[in-house]
Structure 1
Amino acid sequence: MAPEVSRAGDAVAPLQDLDDLTPGWMTDALQVHHPDVEVTGLHLGAVRHGSESTVRVMLDYNSAGHEQQLPPTMYVKGQLSTRATEGILGPMTLTEARFFQDVAPLLPELNITKCYFASVADGRRSTIVMEDLFARNATLGAAGTTVTPATAYLMAEQFAQLHALWFDAPELDSTDWLANSSARDVDLDKMATEETGIFGSFKEGWWARRTQLPHCAFLPAELTHRATMKQALVSKYRAEGSLPHCLIHGDPHLGNIFFDADGRPGLYDWSPMVGRWGDDLNYAIVGSLDIDDRREHEQPILRHYLHHLVLHGGPVIPWDDAWLSWRRQTIHGFMYMLCSPRQQPEDLITVQTLRFGWNAIDNDMLGALGI
């Protein structure tokens, strides 16, 4: 039986720091959905601090825990470092917890990590207790690597199921924690002129420095022309922002995808938001395939996605509209070339610039954007 949509976990306060992760706290957390369970022992495994902290825990239970077949290892994720609770990171990271509370139960066939507990408090802090993927012998993907075309088709099926759930649905406006990535409520011209927000990477000095690096040498002049690309990005948000939206993963690079022992892909490390289906699909597929494989398979993969979108209750999107949107959405990944090496390794920036750059050339991205 699929779990029910519930925010019952909010009754248990999220962790403030690592010292709060005790058998008592874990008992309270697990009892939200597993009555009578008691954690009798808790041992910390690997700890990673970044924009969020993740902690692998090894657990001992009373008899109720064993009767309910709770696993001996889990992962705990939350804002357990100063970096995670300062600036904008706090409000952004709680959306994953809300996803597991409000959305994941509605998608029982989607391949995601099982969530045992989620709690949100104060609009800035959250904690999730989730499945240890290594216990199911899963392999974690790595950004900048490649997948086979066969795997890319399976990835498209996962996105189709997710996107169909709330495609152009009222929940996109009524769900209190969902941010909108379309920029439809901002002054795009003002933002582009001032080079703020999504246009922050267009500042003249930074643009010149990044586009003159060797990984951009293959690009034609128009794709490294600052004013042209700024207008292209404005056009993308204008053209796509007026079209129907859906719930998207938000950051589906290969580093946020896992693979079961049989090769089936799954999604984790969620940044859920309201966006266009192509935000997810183009970014994931173009960023994961070898360039020659992408050239051969991108249209069949897109058709496969559109077919499965309908199978899961989504709309019929005419091919010409879908292909035009796919070509426009390439600019999202193409902007990878402007990443700072403090954000991403330079070798990863190079790989993604090649993949999205050749996609932009092959499919006339600028033409699709009316430039």
Structure 2
Amino acid sequence: MANRFSPFSAIFSAPVRVVADRIVPASAAPRVVEDLDSRWFDRILGLPQGSVRNCEVRDIDHGTSLRVRVEVFHDGGSTTLFIKQTPTRVAARTFNLISRLCEHEVYFYGHRAAETGCAPTALAAQWHAPTGRSTLVLPDLGADGFTFVEIAQQCSSDQAAKAVEAMALLHRTFWGAQRFDSRREYVPANMMSAWGNPLLCRYLGGTPERLEEHLPTGFAAQARIIRDRAGDMSALFNSFDQSFIHNDSHQGNIAFRADRAVLVDWQVCAVGSAIKDFAYFLATADTELRRAHERDLLALYLDALAAGDGPVIGWDDAWHAYRVLAVTGYIAAAVTSLFGDRLQNIDNVRTGMLRAATALDDLDSFEAVGATLAHPPAR
């Protein structure tokens, strides 16, 4: 598993898979929703053969994956499904295959999702290695009472609490990665970050002009520390207590219901610093919500984490980790903004980045980064 997800093999295999995708027929592996026939839907829905009559596409979105919402008509009514596939556009497909986003997520849903307690149950999770084609089928969470909140919108304090509890459950379950073998084959580590983070920190720490106009005054000068110490940032971000993390935990990737929250879009899940999920979520959440509730939410996270003989983290250590790891929320938001509206709509892009930058300013995160790099804690 570790080799299968290594960045170098991904770089070399991606163009081969792009070419193979153009040659290999859909009968070998579905490429788009139209390649999925009624017998296939009968099987994944657990219906008698011949029950499904047809399906209609309700929404389609081209991004880091091809996302399609379909309504499947069958005997007794209809069922709405959410289907993710490898992008069909060449640039997006190549990026996805190099980053192994769909491959990674299919592996997660096929092997680990049921153990997390905070992920939807996939009806199908298929990966075709020769072509890089993937098909992930999830239930329509909206039909089960869940709602989504766009990044540019504001979730409620109750929704934030449900999200924090879901993260704590995930982290408690996999705390310390004690169930991973020596090669971390339980779920692959995010190997792209070892070389990707320094490059991103060096670039973003210089605050490109197209970002600076959307950032608070004086932010660029403070951000230079992540450029100057770019080579040390991956080690810093991974220096806190480890668990299995979602790793892309902005509110747009969370489905909320009155009794619970579930996390979706597990394309970059990895082993990493547990509090990163919490920090990323709050740093990109509504600024006034964060300012009013961040201490209460951190206390809730720590209590939920420690429940049932779970791990205990002291308040000072947790607060320090939050301040440092909030930087990862800014990096993620800034990277997304560099793609303009190709990954998110422009309101989400700009709002997420501004919120994250404001959070770093409020938390004196760059000061915390500098102090930690100057005096790393003994572990």
TM-score (norm 1): 0.78
Letter in 1 for 2:323: R
Q: Deviation per CA, 1:219-246: give whole Å up to 9, x if none.
A: 356325x3x2313554442223233322
- Please state if 1:326 is matched with 2:335: no
Q: Deviation per CA, 1:247-281: give whole Å up to 9, x if none.
A: 11121222212223x37432212222222122211
Q: Which runs of 5+ in 2 are unaligned?
A: 1-26, 372-379
Letter in 1 for 2:261: P
State the shift of 1:182 in Å.
Answer: 8.7
Does structure 1 retain, via aligned residues, the 8 Å contact 2:84–2:137? Answer: yes
- Please state if 1:248 is matched with 2:257: no
Match of 2:140 in 1: 132
Within 5 Å, give how 1:344-359 maps onto structure 2. Answer: 344-359=344-359
Letter in 1 for 2:61: R
What's the Cα RMSD here?
Answer: 3.1
State the shift of 1:35 in Å.
Answer: 7.8
Q: Alignment partner for residue 54 of structure 2, among 1, 23, 42?
A: 42
Does structure 1 retain, via aligned residues, the 8 Å contact 2:201–2:226? Answer: no
Letter in 2 for 1:104: A
Match of 1:201 in 2: 203
Match of 2:72 in 1: 59
Within 5 Å, give how 1:192-341 maps onto structure 2. Answer: 192=198, 196=199, 198-199=200-201, 201-202=203-204, 207-213=207-213, 215-220=214-219, 222-224=221-223, 226=224, 228-231=225-228, 234-260=231-257, 262=258, 264-271=260-267, 272-289=269-286, 291-311=287-307, 314-335=310-331, 336-337=333-334, 339-340=337-338, 341=340
- Please state if 1:122 is matched with 2:132: no
Structure 2 SS opposite 1:322:
helix
Match of 2:34 in 1: 19
State the shift of 1:59 in Å.
Answer: 2.9
Match of 1:179 in 2: 189
State the shift of 1:177 in Å.
Answer: 5.4
Q: Which runs of 5+ in 1 are unaligned?
A: 1-11
Structure 2 SS opposite 1:333:
helix
1:94–1:181 Cα change, 3 Å? same
1:234–1:146 Cα change, 3 Å? farther
1:27–1:86 Cα change, 3 Å? same
Structure 1 SS opposite 2:123:
strand
Q: Alignment partner for residue 96 of structure 2, among 83, 89, 110?
A: 89
Structure 2 SS opposite 1:57:
strand
Structure 1 SS opposite 2:218:
coil
Match of 2:115 in 1: 106
Does structure 2 retain, via aligned residues, the 8 Å contact 1:79–1:125? Answer: yes
Distance 1:210 1:223 in 2: 17
State the shift of 1:313 in Å.
Answer: 5.5
Distance 2:233 2:172 in 1: 22
Does structure 2 retain, via aligned residues, the 8 Å contact 1:181–1:274? Answer: no
Distance 1:51 1:135 in 2: 25
Does structure 2 retain, via aligned residues, the 8 Å contact 1:50–1:83? Answer: no
Structure 2 SS opposite 1:87:
helix
Does structure 2 retain, via aligned residues, the 8 Å contact 1:85–1:125? Answer: no
Structure 1 SS opposite 2:34:
helix
Distance 1:176 1:79 in 2: 24
Letter in 2 for 1:147: C
TM-score (norm 2): 0.76
1:76–1:342 Cα change, 3 Å? closer
1:18–1:74 Cα change, 3 Å? closer
Structure 1 SS opposite 2:370:
coil
Does structure 2 retain, via aligned residues, the 8 Å contact 1:278–1:325? Answer: yes
Q: Percent identity?
A: 24
Structure 2 SS opposite 1:366:
helix
Structure 1 SS opposite 2:177:
coil
State the shift of 1:167 in Å.
Answer: 1.7
Does structure 1 retain, via aligned residues, the 8 Å contact 2:341–2:349? Answer: no
